[in-house]
Structure 1
């Protein structure tokens, strides 16, 4: 029984209280989690920027190095293109246009080959299988770039083997190493510099997407604040009168 001066609270009041508390706990927790993810992504971006600022690595520094310590480092490679093993990855975009990423193995020495993401060419919409010409110099070349993981994998509708076609949806380095017998290293190099050899190289900057997490955190905290406002309004300011 309610005491003097204290209104009686029914089941509706306590149900709304519990629901509001649960809503506040969930939205606040999700907002904090998004802030934690943003902090983690900011640390990753700082590491990427720091590695990019380190001195350029030469061929001799790459032998036997751990792949995790090389990613995002700048490199200067010297070797010979294995043009007959060039691969064209389909459905890749640059400037918002569909086309191909062109990858060619570069033989650094008889026991080391690295797959180089050389650049991008647009698609021929008249003939999907037609590839625009790409110049591949013979003899020794020097390639400036940065170490990167293999290209992002897209959903592959065709599960059938690629065969001898240079056009592929994805590239599995392990499978490519096994099929070709090339001693490929488990990472790639993204070639940088001005457009040349029929290839464009306006690569998308490497980012961690930290802005997205801040946006999600703002939404969750905004929803949390909305619950507080609605709770106060309907429970105390405009509390319905008892019949």
Structure 2
């Protein structure tokens, strides 16, 4: 009975270790795809995806957008950190200029413009972020929306939000919103006071390798304990024959 239990546990932990190695291989492939996209030629604005499946294939592509800011609809995502400091991610919708062959002319795309620290005295006091009027060009890379944080209730109407919902923003703006965002990588002429120390996209391969090591180590420990307590120790304690 003990042997069967040890065998089941060892087989289960070994299988989990193999599964984590498989996940690591998948993440390596994903990281290679991200690196390839980042090194590719800039994506033409007319080829921006209009559905979520196609959008995922464009993440990390470089792009130069042409459009007009909608600064009155800017959103400040709360509880976002940079270098361990609390602050806001500043996102502003950009009304795209019509371009030839565009899949959805006149659409809006959310731009992750940068990070700004929170006021230590008045938590809800927002900084003034200079936003150029008229037609602008925005250099960046295609990205998914910022990671969602846990929230206890639906966000109230207003500039400070916990998360950004693209579908809800389309209803609020009254315009079609593309199912992706663009991370701005260059400050506009004259600056805007925002930090853009965006972390490089990573697929967390090392995390899965660490989990695999833990499962394989547990498998080896179960087998060693079984061999010690069921085979070696009883023989060591057996009295010698006369």
Q: TM-score, normalised by structure 2?
A: 0.87
Does the aligned pair in 1 maintain the 2:56–2:144 contact within 8 Å? no
Structure 1: gaps of 5 or more residues: 1-14
Q: Partner residue of 2:63?
A: 75
Q: Partner residue of 1:58?
A: 44
> Structure 2 CA distance, aligned partners of 1:211 and 1:102?
30
CA gap 1:192/1:62 in 2 versus in 1, 3 angstroms: same
Among candidates 14, 18, 27, match of residue 32 of structure 1 = 18
The answer to whether residue 153 in structure 2 is matched with residue 167 in structure 1 is: no
> Structure 2 CA distance, aligned partners of 1:132 and 1:45?
36
Structure 2: gaps of 5 or more residues: 99-105
Report the secondary structure of 1:126's partner residue: coil
Shift in Å at residue 60 of structure 1? Answer: 2.9
How many residues end up aligned between the 2 structures?
226
Among candidates 231, 234, 238, match of residue 236 of structure 1 = 231
CA gap 1:64/1:158 in 2 versus in 1, 3 angstroms: closer
Q: Partner residue of 1:205?
A: 200
Report the secondary structure of 2:170's partner residue: helix
Does the aligned pair in 1 maintain the 2:50–2:179 contact within 8 Å? no
User: What does 1:105-184 correspond to in 2, within 5 Å?
Assistant: 105-109=93-97, 111-159=106-154, 162-163=156-157, 165-184=158-177
CA RMSD of the aligned region, Å?
1.8
Q: TM-score, normalised by structure 1?
A: 0.87
Report the secondary structure of 1:70's partner residue: coil
Please give the per-residue CA displacement for 1:198-237, whole angstroms capped at 9, x wherever unaligned: 1001112211111111001001111111122222222222
> Structure 2 CA distance, aligned partners of 1:194 and 1:17?
65
